Chains A and B, each alone.
Chain A
Amino acid sequence: MATTIAKAAADATAVTHAARIEHVSKSFPAPGTPGGQQLVLDDITLDVAPGEFVTLLGASGCGKSTLLNLLAGLDLPSAGSIDTDGRPALMFQEHALFPWLTAGKNIELALKLRGIAKAERRQEAERLLELVRLQGAHRKRVHELSGGMRQRVALARALAQDSRLLLMDEPFAALDAITRDVLHDELTRIWRETGLSVLFVTHNVREAVKLAQRVVLLSSRPGRLAREWNVGIPQPRRIEDSAVAELSVEITEELRREIRRHGQH
């Protein structure tokens, strides 16, 4: 524990940000109107510090997924610049594990594509499975795992990329409440153990508050930075903590105000 903190601190002095988004806009060709452009992201500026946990919160149409795609390098911004410390790992709402591979081989594929030698892959995959508390699941097929287990393997696979930044696109949205709660605690533990930076997209306010050091609210159509909150509540937090609830109420009010604006034209 102590060493990882020291490591994170050392990294912090070397690099000032895990991700730097500067005046980024993104538009897509608007359907129906030839030549027309639809603005999805409007002048987003956001830094994620090394080791920081930021949640990105917004209603439908705020361009959360677009922003993650830009950060992951799957798409290019129309304007502005994006700088990340290496290629970020990305975790999806669906587990996106390859069904033709076992749980362990999914992780080993990520290692292989990273250029890790064959001899080390197996051991490293075992270590990562242990980190998400799935030791012994190496040979399990994806369809033999429960929803929560699949997301944990997906997390292990994302960690196998050894990125400094982990992007998460509503990764727990499809899980039941108990499992989601447990995975929140797991993610918090792993984040603290690894010293990773996390940018976590969600539309669940309590989830955002429970996990984050900083909550960033995006407005919709186009996505703009609306407001942000520093969450000073000490970890470990519980989803039912009164402090979590209080801040959630405040943020929800703001989110509703944002959504209401779209009803009045």
Chain B
Amino acid sequence: MASTDTGVDAKGDGSSAAGEPQDTHDLAGLEAGLDALESVQAARTPLRETLVRKALPPITAIALVLVVWQLLVGAGAAPDYKLPSPSAVWDEVIDAWLQGTLLDYIWTSVSRGLLGFLMALAIGTPLGLLVARVRFVRAAIGPILAGLQSLPSVAWVPPAVIWLGLNDSMMYAVILLGAVPSIANGLVAGIDQIPPLFLRAGRTLGATGLREAWHIVMPGALPGYLAGLKQGWAFSWRSLMAAEIIASSPDLGVGLGQLLENGRNNASMAQVFLAIFLILLVGIAIDLLIFSPLERRVLRSRGLLVTR
């Protein structure tokens, strides 16, 4: 505060006849004072506080669900084959772990899901860029792409089985049909939301064509693109589970979808519950470990995420 005061005074007193070096010196001091006064210091929340604030509520919620569940089982609300007890489901987990198959189930599905997602990424990104930037392409396939998003990808399973047979490529086809539109649409939305000023600024700096796409359009669209990726992953995972449940074959290996279907066939509700929990867990874990940190990092670096 004091530095600005003296700075302004010195400026007021100094007549225009004042020597240039003196003048420049005053200006530098004044400017430094202004900069110091107006700069904001963004502080990060300590890890412990984050844990307490972010981890405690969901843990409480999960504990509450388990308690209610156990109470319902204890009260005999439904017969065993409809509602297994939490401990029965836990026994399934332990069994599968001891047999060494638990991680196999998960890995079979996760590896398929991630590979399919990466393929969807490789196709959806250029597609989204084309739709957003080329007027003819947008008019031609934009609405179809948006409409495809509302089509449940499970609808693609029967034709995919007929076209490709009961194999991995059929799974990937279903994942792609589910995830590519999400990723492309996310990128289109992200590009549409870039302030026109950035594009003008980019052009005056000499960014055109592919250089514009790489230096201005893609980074500008990144928040929308990430939201699209997140949704694309959710669609990939959902499509894959639908495909695994419907199209089970011994050649395909047991993923989480097949585990669920097997549980139904064996009339083992505990196994069905196990499969559902694992599917949910993977979905949450991927989001929590990959997409959320990525999204937060991008938003924070742009000053779009204010920690309260």
Interface residue A83 (Cβ < 8 Å from any Cβ of B): no
Q: Do B197 and A99 touch across chains, with their CB atoms under 8 A apart?
A: no
Of the candidates B41, B211, B220, B303, the one whose C-beta lies within 8 Å of that of A98 is: B220
Assuming A74-B203, A161-B205, is B219 touching A147 (CB within 8 A)?
Answer: no
Residues of B close to A236: CB separation below 8 A: 16, 20, 23
* B contact residues, range: 35 or more
Interface residue A241 (Cβ < 8 Å from any Cβ of B): yes
Which listed segment binds B: A18-26, A84-92, A216-224?
Answer: A84-92
Residues of A close to B38: CB separation below 8 A: 146-149, 179
Residues of A close to B139: CB separation below 8 A: none
Kindly report which residue of chain B lies nearest to residue A148, judged by CB atoms.
Answer: B34
Q: Do B302 and A99 touch across chains, with their CB atoms under 8 A apart?
A: yes
Most B-side CB within 10 Å, residue of A100, A109, A134, A186: A100
Interface residue B45 (Cβ < 8 Å from any Cβ of A): no
A96 to B301, CA, bound (A): 16
Q: Do A113 and B215 touch across chains, with their CB atoms under 8 A apart?
A: yes
Q: Do B16 and A238 touch across chains, with their CB atoms under 8 A apart?
A: yes
Residues of A close to B28: CB separation below 8 A: 133
Kindly report which residue of chain A lies nearest to residue B197, judged by CB atoms.
Answer: A96
Question: In A172-224, which residues have CB < 8 Å from any B CB?
Answer: 178-179, 182, 185-186, 189
Of the candidates B35, B201, B220, B301, the one whose C-beta lies within 8 Å of that of A148 is: B35
Residues of A close to B222: CB separation below 8 A: 100
Interface residue A7 (Cβ < 8 Å from any Cβ of B): no
A100 to B203, CA, bound (A): 17
> What is the distance, in angstroms, from A165's C-beta to the closest C-beta of chain B?
12
A185 to B8, CA, bound (A): 14
A186 to B215, CA, bound (A): 30
A127-140 toward B: CB 8 Å interface, digit per residue (1/0)? Answer: 00000011000000
Assuming A100-B219, A182-B27, A186-B27, is B206 touching A144 (CB within 8 A)?
Answer: no
Of the candidates B23, B39, B303, the one whose C-beta lies within 8 Å of that of A142 is: B303
Residues of A close to B301: CB separation below 8 A: 99-100, 141
Interface residue B31 (Cβ < 8 Å from any Cβ of A): yes
Residues of B close to A40: CB separation below 8 A: none
> What is the distance, in angstroms, from A210's C-beta to the closest C-beta of chain B?
11
Q: Do B27 and A241 touch across chains, with their CB atoms under 8 A apart?
A: no
Interface residue B183 (Cβ < 8 Å from any Cβ of A): no
